[in-house]
Amino acid sequence: MTNETIIIQAPASKSLSHRTLIAGALAPGRSIISGLLDSDDIHRTRGCLEACGVQFEDQLDGSLAVTGTETGPQGGNHDGKDKDARPAQMYFHESGTTARLMTAVAAAGKGRFRADGAPRMQERPMKELCDALGALGVSFKYELEKGFLPFVMETKGYGKGPVDITLEESSQYLSGMLLGAPLSASETIINVTGKKAVSWPYVALTLRIMEDFKASFRVETMQEGQWRETPWKAIRKVEPGQLRFIVQPGGYQPTNYRVEGDWSNASYFLAAGAVGKKPVNVHGVMADSLQGDKAIIDILAQMGAGINVTADKGVTIYPRKLRGITVDMGKCPDIVPTVAVVAASAVSPTTITNVAHLRIKESDRLQACADQISKTGCEVELGEDSIKIIPKPLKSGEGIDFETYGDHRIAMSMSIFSLSGIDVKLDNPACVGKSFPGFHDTWKAVLEGQ
């Protein structure tokens, strides 16, 4: 590594921050969590947990003390003594992760909970999760449209299963139910059904946190017509109807925990190393991470970028001539906008497949990528679950007004075009606060280092 290399520290993982915060909150006693991401979405999850009776105390060293409840999430009338008690208020704003995880986690508690979010969050589907929780005895009263926020949920905890859930629309439904299941009074069996499965690595992150906080579960796969226990870390591909989870009662144990760096947010800076003039080194990400977005280094390597990975100095990406590829990104949807923008600097077309679920994120990310990348001079073709970027000479030296749709990942991805000589103008730069409030300052360091 030379003095020409730009060095960046990765922020903490958003996915692991959500899950660690929840596991600590469900463990009776005190846990200390360090390295937690400071972002809007994490604040939403913390706020929902506080509404459910969890106590937090910010420490002088930057860590967070979490004191979980003895009885799990507590809603209105959780003790059955006040039928007129106001529901616990869970407001998700625009955090889909908070909405899916906390709905399922609160359902594992007792009492009445009101769930609501910003207008875009009210458009995002919740029906599959609510139906699955309904099969466990949880009741829902929808205030506007069935299967969507806002609603009031009433629960006595998870009843006896088994229960079915798919990984077609979102893996967060399954993750939320897995996180809540240890609070059940009896064994919970969750079957993965449906036609296809996306985003499995996020489920693996959930299982890792459950294991680290001493929840008891096992994973079984169908082999030769029989269910057989399978090490969850050995699972690479999920076949619907061939996988189930058996979670034992017993809850969680308090644990002191440090959150690792985030591969999703690191992807923009690794992309900068591929398309910019100088190498970029990102510290704080783990090469053996279970995060699906670690795939960014393999994808950039396939496209021709130079790569060096070390245990102590993180990942370095070196600029090279890039070529287009065809890649299935069903397991790593959050970095699709990053790869799509990098593809605009390649010498041949790139096709990204198996990403229909991007249409129900903070924005319709497939359409957003197509519309915004097209502004740079490239051609973009959209399929039902794919996007193809056909590189053309970029409008270097010109200013382009990019729409972010209030979506943090669109804003951060479009910023990469500034390394191609485009004057990037974002209509809502502040939306990055959802996952990475310090993005613009860190990105400025990349631009100044060129």
User: Can you give the three-state secondary structure of the chain, one letter per residue?
Assistant: CCCCCEEEECCECHHHHHHHHHHHHHCEEEEEEECCCCCHHHHHHHHHHHHCCCEEEECCCCCEEEEECCCCCECECCCCCCCCCCCEEEECCCCHHHHHHHHHHHHCCEEEEEEECCHHHHHCCCHHHHHHHHHCCCEEEECCCCCCCCEEEEECCCCCCCEEEEECCCCHHHHHHHHHHHHCCCCEEEEEEEEEECCHHHHHHHHHHHHHCCCCEEEEEEECCEEEECCHHHCCCCCCCCEEEEECCCCCCCCCEECCECHHHHHHHHHHHHHCCCCEEEECCCCCCCCHHHHHHHHHHHCCCEEEEECCCEEEEECCCCCCCEEECCCCHHHHHHHHHHHCCCCCCEEEECCHHHHHCCCCHHHHHHHHHHCCCCEEEECCCCEEEECCCCCCCCEEEECCCCCHHHHHHHHHHHHHCCEEEECCHHHHHHCCCCHHHHHHHHHHHC
Give the pLDDT confidence score for residue 1 in this predicted structure: 41
Find, among 122, 90, 75, 104, the residue nearest to 362 by Cα. 122
Is 334 a catalytic site residue? Answer: yes
R_g over Cα of the chain: 22
Give the pLDDT confidence score for residue 49 in this predicted structure: 98
Give the pLDDT confidence score for residue 38 in this predicted structure: 94
Give the pLDDT confidence score for residue 3 in this predicted structure: 53
- The predicted-structure confidence for 234-262, as pLDDT tens digits, reads as follows 998 899 999 999 999 999 999 999 999 99
CA distance 148 to 140: 10
CA diameter of the chain: 69
CA distance 393 to 371: 17
Q: Which residues pair with 316 in a beta bridge?
A: 281, 308
Sheet strand arrangement including 326-328: 326-328, 350-353, 387-390, 379-382
CA distance 268 to 275: 11
The series of mean pLDDT values per 10 residues for the chain, 450 residues long, is: 80 96 97 96 98 97 94 92 92 97 98 97 96 98 97 96 92 97 97 91 96 98 96 92 97 97 97 97 92 96 96 91 97 96 98 93 93 98 96 96 96 98 97 95 95
CB 440 within 8 Å of CB 432: yes
Give the pLDDT confidence score for residue 164 in this predicted structure: 97
Q: Could you say which of 79, 334, 371, 401 is catalytic? A: 334
Give the pLDDT confidence score for residue 2 in this predicted structure: 45
Give the pLDDT confidence score for residue 399 in this predicted structure: 97
- The neighbour count for residue 375, using CB atoms within 10 Å, is 16
Domains of the chain, each with CATH number or no CATH:
13-77+87-250 (3.65.10.10), 262-449 (3.65.10.10)
The one-letter code for the residue type at 181 is: A
Find, among 25, 27, 147, 140, the residue nearest to 87 by Cα. 140
